[in-house]
Structure 1
Amino acid sequence: MNNKPYNLFSSHLKQCFGGRVHKISVDAGFSCPNRGATRDQPGCLFCDPSGSGSAGIEPALSVAEQIQAGKEVMVRKYKAEHFLAYFQPFSNTFAPVDRLRSLYDEALGVEGVVGLAVGTRPDCLPPEVLDLLAEYHRRSYFWLELGLQSIHDQTLNRLRRGHDYDTFVKTYHQAKRRGLRVCVHLILGLPGENREQILASAEEMARLGVDGIKLHLLHVLEGTGLGDLYRQGEMEILSQEDYVSLVVDMVERLSPQTLIHRLTGDGPRDRLLAPLWSLNKWQVLNAIDAEFKHRGTKQGSRFDG
């Protein structure tokens, strides 16, 4: 079912559910420790003030209404049959357990929704929240998506993340002890990181045996601290050629069992400062596939497990 040289998440979903499964992004009104209760604090250096994946989301609608609107689009465009409610912008465990339960239950109550994906930070998962997520893992198809971005504390400090790599490792192991599927997010092209450091993050994810991974190209957006650095000429931007080469290098190092949720993404066109080549997402994905073919390699070719 998957003719790619990597273990594609969408193919896994089709095998699990016997039909097309699509994520529907939901903004449930959460904030994060770096943004404060009203989302008005500076946040991470790269963070879009409106939150990741916010294009097309209507936060004024209820969770159920957002999902219903998303369903109509996915059915019309992709003939989707099943849906995952993806709690995406900001930190979607940054609230009391009772509020989390109410919102997650609302999402699962929408017809056709077979599971949840919850995006958050490793410092927003106290034991009682992890226990709650484990409940949803047992009763539905569930993914915990953890934003890590880099394993290097120097980079995390530069990004104003507010946590270190050890916090991630401890949270990751606590989640795995509860049986949760974990997808880890990494960003390629972060300021100050060289190729060896980027590949070290991939090798560490291989050592941990993460269930899934999302590789993100660093997008420089207007209205962010990163955007200020870019305008001042204080950071370098990856070329498409370098990005493609790095992605293939990283995937070759991952376990063949790790599900590839994403290999690139496209930033909001109205606020993207760089790299502008990223606006052609399919061109980038095709270039990644072509590089695998050129090398004659696949996911796990350099996995040392």
Structure 2
Amino acid sequence: MEKRPYRDLNTYFKSLFGCRVHKVTVDAGLSCPNRDGTLSTGGCIYCNARGSGTGARQKGLSITQQIERAKDRIARRFKTNKLLAYFQSFTNTYAQVERLQAMYDEALAVENVVGMAVGTRPDCVDDTKLDLLESYARDHLVWVEYGLQSAHNRTLVRINRGHDVACFEKAVAATRGRNIRICAHVILGLPGESRKDMLATADFIAAMALDGIKLHLLYVVRGTAMETLHSKGAYRCLEQREYAELVCDFIERLPDTTIIQRLTGDPHPRELVAPDWSLQKKETVDLIHTLFREKNTWQGKRYRGGNPS
């Protein structure tokens, strides 16, 4: 396989475990303070009632059942039996610590689960919850994935995010030194953001020297405030090549130690409003790789110790 121009997740896993490790999405049935009325009832403007979840918990499937159901399919398709439990939907530290411990214990007790990734918000962690995650990190691989989305407070207000950039910085600082890997989620194409704004977010992430990043395309989903904006002509989706070029430019500015966990997202076909090309994930990833070659560039090319050129 051709060496990728960025530090990808599969290579990272193989360096740790000597083989492929596959993430299994887990729905723990938690909510979000930006949806249940604590902060607001509408949530972020791009998020619908599913909250990127599978709905498995509503169907009555336990965490163990969700992982076990995925095992055979993953073994056949990806030729691996090592798994990482990924708590993805909504906010997976948004509960009392006793409930969180029961969730995490259940996932890590499943045979061949070598660790977990916990998707959450930076305003939903504290020392007690981080102490709990640190206790698992002694014997397992533990990632915390914080949703940042943008390094611009004006954008966070526009998308009804419910926290500011300083909150993200505080959560990262509290997580460091605990043997917990830290990943940031960033969305490209947010309303009102220019290319310059998005690359400034790349510089912000680079300066923080995080362990990983996930890049997402902003696609429009049914039942969201974004759908209303789009239907009124108040929002233009990025074009496929435009997005691919932004991804290359973004990754150029990151240190080569940062693990690129995702290049784009996976919309639910029945929920997607626009853009149609976002369903063509392989084509988009192939285009990103082609652009890296055409530009003769790579991760870190424009990173200079926190001062991208």
Normalising by structure 2, we get a TM-score of 0.95
- Larger mean Cα displacement after TM superposition, 83-92 or 70-79: 70-79
- Larger mean Cα displacement after TM superposition, 244-253 or 59-68: 59-68
1:123 is matched with which residue?
Answer: 123
2:42 is matched with which residue?
Answer: 42
CA distance in 1: counterparts of 2:73 and 2:232, whole angstroms: 40
1:26 is matched with which residue?
Answer: 26
CA deviation map 1:162-194 (0-9, x unaligned): 100000001111101323210100000000101
Give how far 1:134 is off: 1.0
Given that residues 6 and 260 in structure 1 are in contact (C-alpha distance below 8 angstroms), is that contact kept between their aligned partners in structure 2? yes
CA distance in 2: counterparts of 1:112 and 1:177, whole angstroms: 27
4+ residue segments displaced more than 2 Å: 53-59
**Which AA in structure 2 matches 1:165?**
V
Q: Which runs of 5+ in 2 are unaligned?
A: none
Given that residues 29 and 58 in structure 2 are in contact (C-alpha distance below 8 angstroms), is that contact kept between their aligned partners in structure 1? no
2:72 is matched with which residue?
Answer: 72
The 1:134/1:37 distance shift into structure 2, 3 A limit, reads farther
CA distance in 1: counterparts of 2:110 and 2:285, whole angstroms: 32
CA distance in 2: counterparts of 1:187 and 1:282, whole angstroms: 19
The 1:178/1:199 distance shift into structure 2, 3 A limit, reads same
| Equivalent pairs, count | 304
Give how far 1:41 is off: 2.9
CA deviation map 1:73-108 (0-9, x unaligned): 211221222000000000000001111011100000
The 1:116/1:289 distance shift into structure 2, 3 A limit, reads same
1:113 is matched with which residue?
Answer: 113
1:262 is matched with which residue?
Answer: 262
Give how far 1:2 is off: 6.5
1:83 is matched with which residue?
Answer: 83
Normalising by structure 1, we get a TM-score of 0.96
Give how far 1:47 is off: 0.6
CA distance in 2: counterparts of 1:201 and 1:53, whole angstroms: 26
CA deviation map 1:113-168 (0-9, x unaligned): 00010000000001111111111111211100111100111100111111000000
**Which AA in structure 2 matches 1:255?**
P
Secondary structure in 2 aligned to 1:177? coil
CA distance in 2: counterparts of 1:163 and 1:35, whole angstroms: 13
Mapping of 1:282-301 within 5 angstroms? 282-301=282-301
Give how far 1:57 is off: 7.4
The 1:183/1:139 distance shift into structure 2, 3 A limit, reads same
Give how far 1:265 is off: 1.7
CA deviation map 1:207-244 (0-9, x unaligned): 00010000000010000111111111111110111101
Secondary structure in 2 aligned to 1:51? coil
| Residue identity (%) | 47
The 1:231/1:85 distance shift into structure 2, 3 A limit, reads same
CA distance in 2: counterparts of 1:2 and 1:24, whole angstroms: 26
CA distance in 1: counterparts of 2:57 and 2:262, whole angstroms: 20
Secondary structure in 2 aligned to 1:71? helix
CA distance in 2: counterparts of 1:4 and 1:178, whole angstroms: 30
